[in-house]
């Protein structure tokens, strides 16, 4: 098994950190059954640090792993169906599925199966290349990081859209992989024009297969905890679940969809499971994200969980009965791992200094409050 000293670990390319090795993987179908939740709990207590961390790309991080168990763990997670057996470090690692039910369940499941069965046929453009499959009841993934988007329009036509464009390409399920290959083959041939931020620079090159009249549904959904779409959204601070919490959750649900908001969505459930460790509806846990930071990450300077507690305390004080509307991301260093495009305020550190970057002017007051508390 290759050992990669980069910042994007996979199940077959772990990286070394301060507390042991670190892997990150995408649950097959973006879903974990109750049995798989329990199995994952056993895996992290037997092999790792007793915790998993959900990420902003709907992946799962396991850390604190010992080198001699890495191959065994990889085989185990694939054998149990938690990870697609075709997934390798050379394959696309980021496919984000809408966690919500679809009005056209057959179409949504067909697209999911096509993608899962064709991992080897989708060129990986760059290390963070990703696809968002936004076929739920409402459009919910347009603010998540992705290069290609599979969506529907108002007439329920299936579209393939390059991130950053207003328009999509009409496709059929049986032509989807071929259309993706056409776009990515063109991208690879013009790699000097491509940035890690996306494919938008390529639209002129793929114009012959681009249709300017098809637009996806508009998104007006913002994630929140609690009842939604016939189910229930649940979270814990930082999306960091212990093995005990996973085991306990498994006793109360049939399964969970993994979301890009560091939360789980439980389908067909209208009441919060009776679990004291879950965040409350008015908590701010979905609006505050942070990387592992110090002391876990070898490059971490900030103790991100400590800063997150400070940020949450301010949010709860300033917004007692409503949500702030701000999205805050905290990074232990200046690499800004896990940063999303909807971030309003960024807190990070470089060369021992703490920095706050305002990305939305309407949260100037809030950023000032964070700065005052952070630099006491």
What CATH number is associated with residue 353? 3.30.413.10
Residue 210 pLDDT greater than 50, yes or no: yes
Q: Using an 8 Å Cβ cutoff, are 107 and 173 in contact?
A: yes
Do 90 and 13 share a domain, yes or no? Answer: yes
In sequence order, which ranges of the chain are alpha helices (DSSP H)? Answer: 34-47, 70-79, 105-117, 176-189, 243-250, 304-318, 364-374
Residues 350 and 369 grouped into a single domain: yes
Q: Tell me the per-residue pLDDT of 75-130, one tens digit each, with 9 for 90 and over.
A: 999 999 999 998 877 777 789 999 999 999 999 999 999 999 999 999 887 778 89
Q: Are strands 130-133 and 148-152 parallel, antiparallel or unpaired?
A: parallel
Hey, is 219 helix, strand or coil? coil
* CB of 75 closer than 8 Å to CB of 107: no
**Residues 307 and 276 both lie in one domain:** no
Q: 229 with 326, same domain?
A: no
- Chain Cα centroid distance, residue 365: 29
Residue 32 is classified by DSSP as E
Q: Is the pLDDT of residue 341 over 50?
A: yes
What's the pLDDT tens digit per position in 267-304? Answer: 999 899 999 999 988 888 899 988 888 888 878 889 99
Per 3-state DSSP, the chain is made up of helix, strand and coil in percentages (nearest 5) of 30, 20, 50
Q: Which of 281, 303, 327 is the last residue of a domain?
A: 281
In a shared domain, residues 158 and 184: yes
Q: Which of 264, 281, 298 is the last residue of a domain?
A: 281
Peptide bond into 295 cis (omega under 30): yes
C-alpha 251/C-alpha 34 separation (Å) is: 7
Based on the fold, state whether residues 260 and 343 are members of the same structural domain: no
In the block, tokens 């991301």 appear at 329
Q: What confidence score (pLDDT) does residue 2 get?
A: 37
Within this chain, do residues 342 and 268 fall inside the same structural domain, yes or no? no
Opening angle at CA 345, ends 308 and 62, nearest 5 = 45
Residue with tokens 């498994």: 250
Q: What pTM was computed for the model? A: 0.90
Residues 262 and 212 in one domain: yes
Separation of alpha carbons 273 and 246, rounded Å: 13
pLDDT above 90: percentage of residues in the chain: 66
**Secondary structure E strands in the chain:** 15-17, 20-25, 31-33, 51-54, 60-65, 94-97, 130-133, 148-152, 158-162, 169-170, 226-228, 231-234, 240-242, 255-258, 264-266, 288-290, 328-330, 345-350, 353-358
More confidently predicted of 225 and 197: 225
For the cut 70, the answer to whether the pLDDT of residue 209 exceeds it is no
Write the CATH number for 238: 3.90.480
Domain end, chosen from 265, 281, 297, is at: 281
Domain membership of residue 358 as a residue range: 285-374
CA dist 91 → 7, 15, 86, 122, 154 (Å): 16, 17, 8, 7, 32
124 with 232, same domain: the answer is: yes
Question: Averaged over 10-39, what is the pLDDT?
Answer: 93
Same domain assignment for residues 275 and 303:
no
DSSP code at position 128: T
Q: What is the mean pLDDT of the chain?
A: 88
Whether residue 22 is found in the same domain as residue 112: yes
| Nearest alpha carbon to residue 58 among 264, 305, 290, 304 | 264
Looking at residue 88, its pLDDT comes to 78
* 272 and 207 in a common domain: yes
* Number of domains within the chain: 2
Q: Which residue has the tokens 């991100």?
A: 304
Helical packing angle, 105-117 and 176-189, nearest 10°: 50
In this prediction, residue 250 carries a pLDDT of 98
């Amino acid at each position: 098994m290759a050992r990669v000293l980069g910042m994007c670990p996979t199940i077959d390319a772990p990286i070394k950190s301060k507390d042991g090795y670190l892997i990150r993987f995408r649950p097959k179908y973006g879903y974990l059954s109750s049995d798989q939740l329990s199995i994952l709990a056993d895996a992290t207590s037997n092999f790792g640090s007793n915790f998993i961390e959900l990420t902003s790309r709907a992946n799962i991080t396991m850390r604190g792993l010992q080198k001699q168990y890495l191959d065994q763990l990889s085989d185990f997670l694939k054998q149990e169906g938690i990870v697609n057996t075709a997934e390798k470090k050379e394959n696309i690692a980021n496919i984000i599925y809408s966690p919500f039910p679809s009005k056209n369940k057959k179409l949504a499941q067909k697209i999911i199966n096509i993608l899962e069965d064709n991992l080897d046929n989708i060129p990986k453009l760059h290390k963070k290349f990703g696809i968002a499959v936004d076929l739920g009841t409402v459009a919910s993934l347009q603010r998540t990081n992705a290069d290609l988007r599979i969506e529907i329009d108002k007439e329920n036509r299936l579209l393939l859209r390059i991130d950053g464009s207003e328009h999509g390409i009409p496709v059929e399920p049986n032509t989807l992989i071929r259309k993706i290959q056409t776009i990515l083959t063109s991208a690879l041939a013009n790699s000097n024009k491509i940035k890690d931020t996306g494919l938008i620079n390529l639209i002129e090159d793929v114009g012959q297969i681009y249709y300017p009249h098809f637009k996806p549904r508009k998104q007006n959904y913002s994630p929140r905890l609690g009842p939604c779409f016939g189910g229930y959204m649940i979270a814990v601070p930082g999306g960091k679940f212990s093995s005990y919490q996973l085991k306990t959750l498994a006793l109360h649900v049939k399964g969970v969809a993994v979301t890009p908001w560091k939360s789980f969505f439980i389908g067909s459930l209208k009441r919060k499971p009776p679990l004291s460790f879950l965040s409350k509806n008015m908590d701010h846990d979905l609006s505050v994200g942070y990387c592992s930071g110090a002391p876990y990450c070898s490059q971490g300077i900030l103790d991100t969980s400590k800063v997150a507690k400070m940020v949450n305390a301010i949010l709860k004080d300033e917004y007692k009965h409503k949500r702030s509307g701000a999205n805050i991301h905290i990074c232990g260093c200046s690499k800004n791992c896990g940063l999303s495009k909807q971030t309003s305020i960024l807190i990070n550190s470089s060369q021992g200094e703490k920095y706050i970057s305002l990305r939305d002017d309407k949260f100037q007051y809030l950023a000032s409050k964070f700065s005052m508390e952070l630099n006491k």
